[in-house]
A and B are shown apart, each in its own frame.
Chain A
């Protein structure tokens, strides 16, 4: 070996970064090996893997990769808990819960409304307006989507009406947040109450105690010809709703818009340094209005998916906190579209698991419902890398 090669080699054979990533993978494996199809019985292999993962995490923290390292440790802790749960379950239970194709399909179903909400949140908060009103905007989309689909006999119109309704409610939020410089969180809560009242009132007014009609034109599922009957893929992806694919397609589109176009740059600059944006001629007010209204329309799409796409009816308060989970997903995903997608899939997976676990053990299933919120708490506490909001998020802007 020549002297030159030694000099060119990195000081350490493996970087803390790679060890941290390996730690996360090992930690995840600690749980994955205990469920079908591998299904190792007993805790020992999992514990060994988790210990190695924790060591890798610790080493990587010592090497300066604090974020990755602590992520590995946190994942290892969750994985050991999961492995313990698997070890205490019978093989029959495990195969009931972990029917992977059904789990994936359910994850997509649960993630779809969250994804629209979270992407709406990304747009709004990137422009510097906190949107706690996502829940209300979703609810508006859910009700007015049904109303439009029923009145105009087409789900297309249902979606359009939903977007208009969500956009209008968002306009109210924008007016208070941008124009009146309100406290945006309080205003968001007002929006949520308002939406609860409006949708409930008009549900009762238009449809009375019988509820919405049963013959609503619904958003169709997309049957993918090639893989529809191909085992796992067919069951998992072959029959997903159109809105699911629209939502997923929006992720790269929004990423491109935010980070590769002039409009996206303006939006982000308004959220980070409004004064600077104003100085170079970007209208802070106009951008924020547009962003909040777009965010309301997206959230309303999520609501419309729930009512017109999935259930086929509207019931009072049917979003049931999904707007807040979407908000959590946005924070968990660090105000980025891709991050939001992964977070929504993770939260959707939690709900899907909760469903299937409830089939075996109802009490345990309930605890799974709390998982997204606990994870978000962990995330905001900075244990899994600090989430940093846009610098001017929530701060009203005043021109000099």
Chain B
């Protein structure tokens, strides 16, 4: 029983449209907005919902959101923003893009799994393992040539993340263990492993910091070069390009390679794929390896790009991998969608982080407002998974409508088997 299968069943059921949108309206909607409308509507509803809580607790949502927007640095794009305001905006926009860098990649880690009918909740664990390996390699091997050192750290973190996700893939292929549960468990194992490594007296703890549970610092040669802004003020590093390049790789793998084809076939219907001669278990394992690699690389870009060291409380409070689920869902599992959703979430996180807030409302409140907005977005996309898939292809909708009677019967019967 795969989640995607259920989703497709639900989708087929949805298309009969008893309670949902009428077919004509749906088609018009699809043609008119080609699916971009749904994520936008989702985000708007979530922001309005969050605004209502702000309003209910006696604050002005409009000014709150305006300062959040300015905090994202997106006002840098407006030509009328000049002078010191422009410099601040540039700094904020750099932060937004730095935050978006890993989000795009962990989004891809969830997306690729989704395409293959797997639900990778384990982005957080794969990311954490990547963090551990990246900071370990980045802070060791001080004499290495910079480019080689960086490549080594990134590749090793990717491999580590891949191996971590691979555990879930192998368990699924070999024993049928549900990957949702195994990846959730692997998340926590990874987090405690990280705490173990860097706690006081842990094997990778920085001996020069006797009272702080933190790793060694990444050596200068392993830091990613900053190309926009000052490196001392945490300017934008080249990690964003690696992230974007991997999004392109993802798109190519999905569309142009045998693995991508097999992944989609397995995701669409594992039984049919099996009958067609594909090795479903092997596809699951390979897909999970690649997913984990995306998350591991995301971690290495954070470590080598701006974090430079890793404290245990960062490991325990990081939510990057979980944001990845929202990014993937909002980005509809496409490469471009992930990039846009990654930047959107990066902007949201940066705009509401307390250092960027200069307003009447308590910054802590705004930080929690972010969580609420994210929660609402995820809740809304949880149903949008259905709508979005409906919107995705005209052919499939046509088929769904033609067969709606039989689909509904088989879908519900299949659901109860």
Contact = CB atoms under 8 A, between A and B. Distances in A.
Contacts, number: 195
Interface string A233-272: 0000000000000000000000000000000000000000
Interface string B1-31: 1010011011001100000000000000000
A200 B371 contact: yes
B412 A380 contact: no
B171 A377 contact: yes
A391 B329 CA distance: 26
Interface stretch (A14-22, A89-97, A146-154, A392-400): A392-400
Contacts of B317: 317
A362 B201 contact: yes
A328 B185 contact: yes
Interface in B374-392: 374-383, 385-386
A276 B14 CA distance: 21
B300 to A, nearest CB: 23
Contact of B386 (A181, A197, A198): A181
Interface in A206-222: 209
A172 interface: yes
Contacts of B379: 172, 176, 182, 187, 190-191, 194
A273 interface: yes
A363 B181 contact: no
A185 interface: yes
Interface size class for chain B? 35 or more
Interface stretch (B85-93, B191-199, B254-262, B267-275): B191-199
Given A196-B375, A397-B415, A400-B408, A186 B382 contact: yes
Interface in A350-374: 362-363, 366-367, 369-370, 373-374
A370 B382 contact: no
Nearest to A274: B416
Nearest to A316: B368
A272 to B, nearest CB: 8
A382 interface: yes
A377 B182 contact: yes
Contacts of A197: 368-375
A201 B372 contact: yes
B184 A201 contact: no
B151 interface: no
Contacts of B178: 380, 389
A205 B372 CA distance: 14
A380 B199 contact: no
B301 interface: no
Contacts of A317: 317
Interface in B167-195: 167, 171, 174-178, 180-182, 184-186, 188-189, 192-193, 195
B35 interface: no
B200 interface: yes
Interface string A57-69: 0000000000000
Contacts of B9: 395
Interface stretch (B96-104, B224-232, B237-245, B359-367): B359-367
Contacts of B377: 190
B372 A194 contact: yes
B47 interface: no
Interface in A152-203: 172, 176, 180-187, 189-198, 200-201
B406 interface: no
Given A185-B121, A370-B192, A396-B10, A204 B368 contact: yes
Given A363-B201, A400-B409, A190 B375 contact: yes
Nearest to B53: A201
A189 B378 contact: yes
A187 B385 CA distance: 11
Interface in A304-337: 317, 321, 324-325, 327-328, 331
A396 B416 CA distance: 10
Given A181-B10, A194-B372, A396-B10, A273 B382 contact: no
Nearest to B6: A395
B322 interface: yes
With a 10 A CB-CB cut-off, give which of A196, A198, A201, A363 has the most chain B CB atoms: A201
Q: In terms of DSSP, what is the predominant structure of the interface of chain B?
A: helix
Contact of B368 (A201, A209, A377, A381): A201
A32 B338 CA distance: 52
A376 interface: yes
A275 interface: yes
Contact of A381 (B6, B175, B364): B175
B84 interface: no
A194 B376 contact: yes
A183 B188 contact: no
Contacts of A189: 121, 322, 325, 378
Contacts of B174: 381
B417 interface: yes
Contact of A185 (B3, B53, B203, B409): B3
A382 to B, nearest CB: 4
B211 interface: no
B202 interface: yes
B357 to A, nearest CB: 13
A273 B178 CA distance: 20
A389 B181 CA distance: 12
Contacts of A190: 375-382
B372 A185 contact: no
Contacts of B192: 366-367, 369-370, 373
B184 A186 contact: no
Interface string B108-137: 000000000001010000000000000000
Contacts of A191: 375, 379
Contacts of B369: 197, 201
Contacts of A380: 171, 177-178, 181-182, 185
A273 B14 CA distance: 20
A370 B364 CA distance: 31
A274 B329 CA distance: 28
B163 to A, nearest CB: 15
A392 B3 contact: no
A194 B46 CA distance: 11
Given A193-B322, A205-B57, A367-B192, 16 more contacts: A181-B386, A186-B381, A190-B380, A196-B368, A198-B53, A200-B368, A201-B368, A204-B365, A362-B200, A363-B201, A370-B196, A377-B171, A377-B177, A380-B177, A392-B416, A396-B10
21 contacts: A182-B386, A185-B3, A186-B385, A187-B382, A189-B121, A190-B381, A193-B378, A194-B372, A196-B371, A200-B364, A201-B53, A204-B362, A317-B317, A363-B202, A366-B192, A380-B185, A395-B416, A396-B6, A396-B10, A396-B415, A398-B408
Interface of B: 1, 3, 6-7, 9-10, 13-14, 53, 57, 119, 121, 167, 171, 174-178, 180-182, 184-186, 188-189, 192-193, 195-196, 199-203, 317, 322, 325, 329, 362, 364-365, 367-383, 385-386, 408-409, 411-413, 415-417
- In the A-B complex, list the 4 residue pairs whose CB atoms are closest, starting with the nearest: A194-B375, A197-B371, A197-B372, A193-B375
